[in-house]
Structure 1
Amino acid sequence: MDLDFSQEDLAFRDEVRAFIATAYDDDMRAHMAQSKNGHINKQGQVRWLKRLHEKGWIAPDWPVEYGGTGWTPAQKYIFEMEMALAGAPSTQTMGLRMCAPVIMAFGTDAQKKEHLPKILATDIWWCQGYSEPGAGSDLASLSLKAERDGDHYVLNGSKIWTTYAQWADWMFCLVRTSNEEIRQKGISFLLLDMKTPGITIVPLPTLDGPAEGEQEINQVFFENVRVPVANLVGKEGEGWTCAKYLLQFERGNAYAPGLTNMLAKVKKIASVEPSDGGRRMMDDPDFRKKLSELQIKVEALNATELRMFAARTAGEAMGASSSMLKLEGSQAQQAVTELALEAAGIYAQPFVQDTWAEIEGRTNTPRAGPDYAATVAPHYFNYRKTSIYAGSNEIQHNIMAKMVLGL
């Protein structure tokens, strides 16, 4: 594909930059700079997403008839890259990027009418109910029961690693509606209101000790939770088809724009922090070699993503290619956080539990090191999960071996 931007593309880039300059306010910027997991609190994210919605830019990947932008591949690239370079909050919410495409593809007209406008306007927040204590990478072994009782399913069991369940209004959930010899055939895809009686959300604190607003994962328990049969997406027993379709969008996101921003931060740290020899880290030959190798990988990933997303715009399915992006993107993310940790050196060691306290005026206690220091180690530890969620690296290798190489 032609990677040269037209005059129209350059004008669009200037429009995106102007929007970011006004919509991405100082409060959001300050919180994002001190975020341990790359997110701000729900209030801040909703504020940002609603500004994108007002502009008409919240759903670049949606079809135009549902509220999408109708952008060219070049415009999507420019938008993603400019957002990443500015460090703006992600638009990759569970509702926009995962649940909505499934509803569009498999949902009823009533489900589309009820949920898609609210997802687009960020009037409701979604979480994903996939993993269970005994079903992670082997997702087909899930056991959350959904037994039919008239016009309802009755749910009993639990889901785990549920990101921002404490914020969620709704959950899209894989449940077991029957026990079949082929396990995948007994799985169904449900939409459920998180205010339904019988749902209990228990936070799972992580080692970085996130402050309020940064609590990320939870376990969700279901005790005789009644969900209308009308909330079934697709046919009963065909949830695995929905799940595989959804995972293309969870795995097939653009990694290169965010990686470019992460590398820029590493370079900034390395330009001021000293190496063991007394020089700047940026002047250390070994460090520069690792940085250059990683830069090349990110550029190669960027070119690959542009080619794949252009093909998807032309109507081609992402398919097993999403596994390759997930594998390479997650490995690169981990490598960048490792390099940042090396660049920050001893300043990465002091543990700051509440990195937002100073911003929000809840403390005047000074902390060791420059502003970026408190988040370097938490980012490193948080990104250990990227090679596990949405299917571990081993799972991605198996998918590519089977679907691409025919092994």
Structure 2
Amino acid sequence: MKKIIVFIMFLISSYTFSYNFPMKDPYTATIIGSSTLMTPNVSEKVPTKVYDIKIKEKVPEIFWYAENFKFSLTAQKEEAPLIFVLAGTGSDYKSIRMQYMERILYDAGFSVISISSPMSAQFLISASKEAAPGLLMNDNKDTYEAMKLAYEKIKDKVKVSEFYLMGYSLGATNSAVVSYIDENEKYFNFKRVFMLNPAVDLYASSKKLDAYLDEYTGGDPLKIESLIENVLNRMKNNMKNEYSSIDSETIYKMVSSDFLTEKEKKAFIGLAFRITSVDLNFISDVMTKSYVYTNENEKLDKYSSLFKNFKRVNFANFENYVDRIGLPYYSKIDSSFSMKKLAKEANLRIVDDYIRNSSKIVAVTNADELILSNEDLSYLKDTFKDRIIVYPIGGHCGNMFYYENVAIMINYLKNGVLQNEK
């Protein structure tokens, strides 16, 4: 077994009641920690290959660059457990967090398939049936189908002993719903599921993250654009205002210093989320033919300027997406569909009975988690009981690559024990 396993097992055997994560401020932790590998002896390179499959027969010509669904496989040479990793909100299979997780899990003896978020441009264009994400059961039926097709594509390239599942942030929430779906279909029959910093109430969490940016900028698009220019000016390439090319990891990496004020930190966290909302508003508008930011008679082809079209969205937030596209779209399908029903379908509680009673699913989160209300945190504690660890600090995913957290995760995945000595 590779050297990281020796280190992790030593750490588990000597684990104490103390928790030494160095970033006490949740905003600093979120920005710096979530994009920093804080576990020693992790392989620099692992044998990762990217594959693509065609799920949709046709996508709008303007999105030609993402017409096929892409995923990555990091395969062990010998027979090994295969774990699917589900990306966080708006992130795709090749984001830096997913790459870190591939390296950690590969060193722990797993083969890994990385799957993009249903709210990422890549998934939304190539694999989302409705192209109006936000309803957890719909989104994860799409995710589950994509996972099956991905495995069918590569099953002759990897020897699998058993299947596992994990995700971070929205990907953690999605992993619970995917496991629920699989419990009925039994295609994978996951042995264990690990939820890392899950969201509970997607709509409320989104409004909270949107507010981080608006509190700093007053919702003024010019001030938001100035923040983006700030990020771009720190980069040593020629990304001239191509907002759609920036993701949360890019922003976090660019502003990963401790010289920002708390308001500035919150603004950049909100900005990272807003970039996802901009993508979501525009892509979903085109895919669903809602014509909020486009018009029916306009020709959008492979030569259309993405910059010009994203400018139309004018930094619309997630609530704008819900009000202008999501809710009207589902109301056309079901006249009884309401905001109340949308909020219910965007909440982890839709699989409440399952996650309360499934011993193979565990969760970890932080007491200062940014995307959870006090009610959400209480819900997770009550639901998972001895199957959850709540670390005292870490912000949103800020400690996901910290060596103590990694040790706990690997110990659970390999041995089925969620060691909680705090």
- Tell me if TM exceeds 0.5: no
Higher gyration radius (CA): 1
Q: TM-score range by the shorter chain?
A: under 0.3
TM-score (norm 1): 0.27
Quick one: higher RCO (CA 8 Å, sep 6+), 1 or 2?
2
